[in-house]
Each structure stands twice: as structure tokens, then as C-alpha cells.
Amino acid sequence: GENVEQHPSTLSVQEGDSAVIKCTYSDSASNYFPWYKQELGKRPQLIIDIRSNVGEKKDQRIAVTLNKTAKHFSLHITETQPEDSAVYFCAASIFNNDMRFGAGTRLTVKP
Amino acid sequence: EAQVTQNPRYLITVTGKKLTVTCSQNMNHEYMSWYRQDPGLGLRQIYYSMNVEVTDKGDVPEGYKVSRKEKRNFPLILESPSPNQTSLYFCASSLNRGSGYTFGSGTRLTVV
């Protein structure tokens, strides 16, 4: 089955800096790659996703890139703000079957 | 309001006492799934369902059962809970293939 690895496990940045979280996956058939944000004590929420026919997708301050050849994808957050502090999870699946999540990255944005 | 509703939010039970965690969605979603979340391990899929009467095992199905008799409901059953099933459980649903999941509020289960 699919195996997703996520790095780093913790990330601390100054407000206004950029943050990058990287994930690798093992199954070349995976075609759907969502990212979720989980604030303390709350449920994970979808923030952006990308499909295998697209190399990059942007939504305001967040962007995701996908390299199918290398089987890795990344989340980029620019101009970070304290409210971006949360745990971020990447995931990979063949459509929604058997979606596997990374272990998570705890992002702290210092004011 | 479109949502995924899980009950109960908190549950403390004893080893071996059967329990059911209910999950219901009001968005007419095809896909539903159960995950458990443990520190350092992220979200691990227990079971998922692509439609009514269609279910399949995820990464950690041992000790759990599910059923999908109606599109909106996807209960998680622990026939004989054990302490290693103490965890935070999330139900999630998505409209169709290739759509992101909407998660429920979670159920914190403690088995003593």
C-alpha cells in the first residue's frame, strides 16, 4: 500500500517568513494529494489539494507543488501569520481509496 | 448546515464492552472513512466506504467493524475494545472520487 513520509516534524518561523513542508509517497499510481490543517483541539480541515495532472496550484498565500517523477509534493506558505500555527498533514491516494496521511508537521509562527 | 456528525464526543469504557461510535453526514457524500489519530503517528485509516454496502479495510482495521447500510451513516463498531484502542477517532466524508474529506469533530475514546 501507499506510504507517505512528511518532513520536518516541527517547523518554527518568524512572522512574515515562508514555510515549506515536504512529503514523499511510494505508490506511483497515487493521483490525489490533499493538505490538511489541524488547529489545537479541532478537526483537520482541507486547505488545498492537487491532482496528478497538475504541477502546481496556488490559493492566496498557500501553494502546493507536485513532482510525479520524484514522487514528492510540497506545501508552501508565504508571509506567515500567527494564525497559521497548527499541525499540517499531507496525504496521498488513488482518488479517495485508502488515503494515507503523513505523520504531520507542527508549524509555529512567532510574532 | 453541511456537516459530519459524530457521537459521542468523549467515551470512557472498560475492556471488552462492545461500543458503537456513530457517524452521519448530511451532504449526500459517496465516500466515508474512519481514522484514528495517535501522537506521532498522524491519521491512520481504519475502514473506508465508496458507497452503500461497499466497504474496505484501511491501514489498521484489526479490532474494528463498520457497516454502510445507508448513504448518510457509517458507524464504527468495537466488538471487544482493548486499551490499545484508546485514541482520537475521526469520521470523514467526501463528495466523490478525488474530492477532499470533510471531517467530523472527533471522538476521544479511552479504554481502561
Condensed to tens digits (0 to 9), the pLDDT of residues A45-69 reads: 999 999 988 899 999 999 999 999 9
Residues of B with CB below 8 A from A43's CB?
Answer: 90, 103-106
CB contact under 8 A, B48 and A96: yes
Chain A contact set for B58 (CB, 8 A): 98
Q: Among B16, B41, B43, B15, which residue's Cα sits nearest to residue B104? A: B43
Does residue A44 sit at the B interface (CB-CB below 8 Å)? yes
Contact B48 A103 (CB under 8 A): no
Beta-carbon separation of B59 and A103 below 8 A: no
What confidence score (pLDDT) does residue A54 get? Answer: 84
**pLDDT score of B19:** 97
| Interface residue A95 vs chain B (CB under 8 A) | yes
Q: CB count, 10 Å around CB of A111? A: 8
In this prediction, residue A8 carries a pLDDT of: 97
Has residue B71 got a pLDDT over 80? yes
Residue A31 to residue B90, Cβ atoms within 8 A: no
CB A43, CB A20: distance < 8 Å:
no
Chain B residues closer than 8 Å to A32 by CB: 98
Give the closest of A49, A95, A98 to B45, CB-based: A98
Task: Identify the CA nearest to B44 among candidates B33, B55, B30, B56.
Answer: B33
Amino acid sitting at position A92: A
Residue B66 falls in which region: left (phi positive, over 0), alpha (psi -120 to 50) or beta = beta
C-alpha cell at position A62: 498557500
List the grid coordinates of B85. Answer: 484502542
A105 touches chain B (CB under 8 A): no
Side by side, the strands of the sheet bearing A4-7 are A4-7, A19-25, A72-77, A62-67, A56-59
The answer, yes or no, to whether residue A93 has pLDDT greater than 90, is: no
Q: Which of B31, B43, B48 sits opposite A101 (nearest CB)?
A: B43
Computed over every residue of chain B, the mean pLDDT equals 94
A51/B contact by beta carbon, under 8 A: yes
End-to-end CA distance of chain B: 36
Residues 6+ apart with CB under 8 A from B34: B23, B45, B46, B47, B48, B58, B64, B66, B74, B76, B89, B90, B91, B92
Type of residue at A97: N
Tell me the C-alpha to C-alpha distance, in Å, between residue B90 and each of B2, B61, B109.
Answer: 17, 14, 11
Interface contact A10, partner B, CB < 8 A: no
CB pairs under 8 A between A and B: 63
As a whole-number percent, the residues of chain B with pLDDT over 90 amount to 86
> E-strand spans in chain B?
4-7, 10-13, 19-25, 31-38, 42-51, 54-57, 65-66, 76-78, 87-94, 102-103, 107-111
Q: Which residue has the cell 466524508?
A: B93
pLDDT for the residue A96: 60
